[in-house]
Amino acid sequence: MTATPRPPLRALTLLAALFSALLLSAPALAIAPFVLDQGNITDKVGALGDRRDDVQAAIDRLQSDAEVGFYVVYVDSFGNLQPDEWANTTAVESGLGTDDLLLAIATEDRRYTWSVEEDFPLDDEKLNEVAKKAIEPELARDEWAQATINAADGYRAVAAGEPVPDSSGNDSRLLTGLLCLAAAVAVAIAGFLWWRTLRSPKEKDSESEGTPVAELEGRADTLLVETDDALRTSELELAFAQSEFGEAATADFAATVEGARTDLADAFRVRQQLDDERPETESEQRDLLTRIIDRLNAANSRLDADAEQFDRLRDLGRRAPEGLERLRGMQTEVTAALPGVDETLSQLRESYPETAIGPVAEAADDARDRMLFVGAHLDAAHEAIADGRSGEAAVELRACEEALSQGQQLVNSVVRRSQELRRAEHDLPEVVDRVDREISAASEDEADDERLRAAVASARQSMEEIRSQTAAGEYDPIALTLKAEQTAEALAEQTERLRDEEENARRAHDQLRQALDSAVAAIGAAEDYVATHRGAVGPRARTRLNEAKAALAHAQHDGASEPVASLKAATRAGRLASEAADLAERDVQAYRDPLDQRVPGPMGNSSNAGAILGGILLGGMLGGGGRGGGRSPGWGQPSHRPGPGSFGGVGTRGRRGGGGRF
C-alpha cells in the first residue's frame, strides 16, 4: 500500500497564510485609552491563557528588587491613535507616576509601545535595549506571556547594572508550531465561520453605534479638565520664557498656545450647548461629545508637538542655578506682600459680609501655603544642583514657578476684590435709580400687556429686596449690582418690543458701561479662584467661566455698533461668571470635606496638599489621574509623590516612550 504523501511545509505555510488573511479581514477591535483598574495586568484579548500567574510573579520580582511599578496591557488594536499616544493617554488617565512603566501590546496591529514619565529612573538607552533583546523576539513568535516576563526580568537586570538576559529562540518552538499548524488552520476556519454567521444584527448595529453616551461624556469631561490645566500650565511656562528670551524667540510657541486656546474654547462652547435648557437626542449628544473630544485632541496635539522643542529652549536643568536665584527673588516679593493682604482682608470683613469676601476669604492662607511649598522645593532644587542632579532640579524649579505665580495671583486677587467692592458700593445707588426709572417707564405701558405687567411686578419685588438689604447694613454690593442688572435685562425683554430701535439702543448704551464693569469683576474673581484651586474644580465651573469670557469679549467688541446685543452679552457674562464661581466653590468644598474619600493620602508633606489643590502637583483629584504625575490607580497607594506639569498637552507632556512593530 502506497503511503499518503505529507503536504510539504511550503504548502502548509501557504494554507495558513491564506486563512490568516481571511481572519484578518475582520476588523481588529480598537479600544480607546482607558483607566487601568485591574491591577498590573489588563488582558483584553485573552493573550496570557494560563500563564497570568507567571507574568504576575515576574512583575512582583521587579517591584521588589527595583521598586518599579510595571503595568502591561494587551489589546487588539490601538485604533487611529499612534501607539505612543494611546499608551501615554492611558498612563496619564490611570495616574501612573514617576516609578511606573506601562507596556502596551496590540496583538492584531502587531505593534507595541512602552511609556514612562520623564523622570523614570531608567534612561531610554536601557529601555530600548530591553525592548530589542527581551520583548520583540518573543512578540514576533506570539509568545505574549513570555514577552512580558522577559521585559520584567530585563528591567530588573538593567536597574541592577546587569546585562539583559538572552531571549534567543529555540528551534523546538518552530517544530512545535509546525506540528500544530494543521490543527490551528482547522480551528481558524471554524472560528471565522462562527464569527461571521453567529453574530446577531443587534451586535453588529451596536458596533456601528460607537461608545455609549455616558462613557463618552465621562471621557469628554475628564479631557476638558486635563486640557484646560495643560493649557494653563503651558501659558504660564510661555510667559516665563517670554520674559527670559523675548517675544521674537517664543513667537512660534505663542502661536501654538493661541491655536490650542481656540480649540479648547470651541470644546467648552459645545459643552455649554449640552448643558443648556434644550435637551438633545442621544444621537445629538454623541455627536456633540465626539466634537468636544476631537477639539481637545487637536489642542493637545498642538501643544505636544512643540513640547520637546520648548523644553530645549528653556533648558531649566542646565540653567538651574540662575533659575533658583530668580525664583528666590520672587519668593521674597510675594512673602513681603502677605502682611498687606492680611490687613486688606481685615478691613473688608469690617465693611462687608463674608459672602462678599468669599472668593478671596482664604487667599492669604492659600498664598502662605504656596510659599511654604516654594521654600521646601527651592531648598530641594538647591540640593539637587549641588549634587549635579540637573534634571531633578528642573522639576523642582518648574513646580516653584507655578506656585509663585499662584501666590502672586492670590495676593492680587485680594487687592482687586477690595477695589471692585468699593467701586460697586459707590455705583450701586446710581444703578438702583436707573432701574427704578426703567420700571416707572415700563409701568406706563403695562395696563394693556399682561406679560409686561408680570415683568414690572417681578422687577419691583427684586428692587425692593435690594433696597432692604442695603438698608440693613452690611451687604455685597457686587452681588446686588448683578441682581439689579439682571432685573433690568429681564424687564427690557418685555419693553424692547414696545419701543423703537433708536430708543432701545440709547437705553442699552447708557447701561452698558456698568454692566461691563460688573461682568469684568465677576469673571476676574471666578478666574482667580479657578486658577488657584484648579486641582479640585470640575468641568461645569470651567465651562461656565469660559462661556462668560466669550460673552464678555462679544460685549466689549460690539458695544459701539450693537449696544442692545452687547448689553445682553455683558449681563449674561456676569451671570455665567457668578455660576462658575458658585460651582467652583462647591467643588473645592467637596474636596476639602474631611469625609470626602477622594482626598489623596500620602503627599510627602503638608505643603504639598495646597500644591495639589492648586493643580501645581498633578494628583488626580478628578478621577485619579493627571499629566506628569498623580495617584496610582484605586487598587493601591501612591508609590511616588506627585510631580509638576510642564509645557505640552495631556497625552505626551512629561512622558517618553518607544516600541515598534513585531
With cell 465561520, the residue in question is 193
Cα-Cα-Cα-Cα dihedral of 459, 463, 464, 470, to 10°? Answer: 170
Q: Of the given ranges (21-30, 227-236, 258-267, 525-534), which has the lowest mean pLDDT?
A: 21-30
Distances (CA, A) of 617 to 218, 298, 519, 607, 643: 23, 24, 31, 11, 5
Residue 246 pLDDT = 93
Residue 510 pLDDT = 83
Amino acid at the residue 151 = A
Closest residue by Cα to residue 320 from 388, 259, 260: 388
Three-state DSSP class for 507?
helix
Closest residue by Cα to residue 73 from 47, 110, 98: 47
d(CA 511, CA 189): 77
d(CA 657, CA 102): 9
Query: What average pLDDT does range 223-236 have in this prediction?
Result: 92
Residue 304 pLDDT = 86
* C-alpha grid cell, residue 465: 429686596
Residue 596 pLDDT = 44
Residue 17 pLDDT = 47
Alpha helices for 352-389 (secondary structure H): 354-357, 363-386
Q: Residue 539 pLDDT > 80, yes or no? A: yes
Higher pLDDT, 206 or 105: 105
Q: Residue 266 pLDDT > 90, yes or no? A: yes
Closest residue by Cα to residue 327 from 255, 253, 408: 408
Residue 187 pLDDT = 44
Q: What φ, ψ does residue 100 adopt, rounded to 5°?
A: -110, 145
User: Contact, 220 vs 538, CB < 8 A?
Assistant: no
Residue 32 pLDDT = 79
Distances (CA, A) of 117 to 89, 256, 656: 12, 23, 6
Query: What average pLDDT does range 58-78 have in this prediction?
Result: 95
CATH class of 41-169+655-661: alpha beta
Amino acid at the residue 50 = D
Three-state DSSP class for 613?
helix
Q: Percent of the chain at pLDDT above 70?
A: 81
Residue 607 pLDDT = 52
d(CA 9, CA 254): 62
User: Contact, 620 vs 641, CB < 8 A?
Assistant: no
Number of CB atoms found within 10 A of residue 78's CB: 26
Q: Of the given ranges (26-40, 136-150, 468-482, 630-644), which has the lowest mean pLDDT?
A: 630-644
DSSP codes of every residue in 529-575: HHHHSTTT--HHHHHHHHHHHHHHHHHHHSTTT-HHHHHHHHHHHHH
Query: What average pLDDT does range 439-454 have in this prediction?
Result: 81
Q: How confident is the model at residue 18 (pLDDT cuts 50, 70, 90)?
A: very low
pLDDT tens digits for 542-587? Answer: 999 999 999 999 999 887 788 889 999 999 999 999 999 999 999 9
Q: How confident is the model at residue 168 (pLDDT cuts 50, 70, 90)?
A: low
Dihedral-angle region of residue 604 (phi above 0 means left; psi in -120 to 50 means alpha; beta otherwise): left
* Angle between helix 539-557 and helix 501-532 axes, rounded to 10 deg: 140
Three-state DSSP class for 74?
strand
Q: How confident is the model at residue 511 (pLDDT cuts 50, 70, 90)?
A: confident
Where do you find CATH 3.10.310.50 in the chain? 41-169+655-661
DSSP codes of every residue in 192-230: HHHHHHH--HHHHHHHHH-S-HHHHHHHHHHHHHHHHHH
User: Contact, 644 vs 402, CB < 8 A?
Assistant: yes
Number of CB atoms found within 10 A of residue 498's CB: 14
Amino acid at the residue 237 = E
Q: Residue 636 pLDDT > 80, yes or no? A: no
HSE of 659 in the Cβ direction (CA atoms, 13 Å)? 26
d(CA 210, CA 580): 32
d(CA 553, CA 505): 19
Q: Percent of the chain at pLDDT above 90?
A: 52
Question: How many residues are present in the chain?
Answer: 662
Cα-Cα-Cα-Cα dihedral of 593, 599, 603, 605, to 10°? Answer: 0
* C-alpha grid cell, residue 72: 502591561
Closest residue by Cα to residue 352 from 520, 536, 480: 480
Cβ-based burial of 79 (10 A; exposed 0-12, middle 13-18, buried ≥19): middle
Residue 132 pLDDT = 93
Long-range contacts of 42-46 (CB under 8 A, 24+ apart): 42/71, 42/72, 42/73, 42/74, 43/73, 43/74, 44/73, 44/74, 44/75, 44/76, 45/74, 45/75, 45/76, 45/107
Residue 296 pLDDT = 93
User: Contact, 647 vs 238, CB < 8 A?
Assistant: yes
Q: Of the given ranges (123-137, 177-191, 341-355), which has the lowest mean pLDDT?
A: 177-191
Q: How confident is the model at residue 446 (pLDDT cuts 50, 70, 90)?
A: low
User: Contact, 508 vs 559, CB < 8 A?
Assistant: no
Three-state DSSP class for 263?
helix
d(CA 94, CA 88): 10
d(CA 655, CA 555): 41
Q: Of the given ranges (19-28, 237-246, 647-656), which has the lowest mean pLDDT?
A: 19-28
Number of CB atoms found within 10 A of residue 595's CB: 6
Residue 403 pLDDT = 93
Q: Residue 628 pLDDT > 90, yes or no? A: no
With cell 461629545, the residue in question is 289
- What is this structure's pTM? 0.67
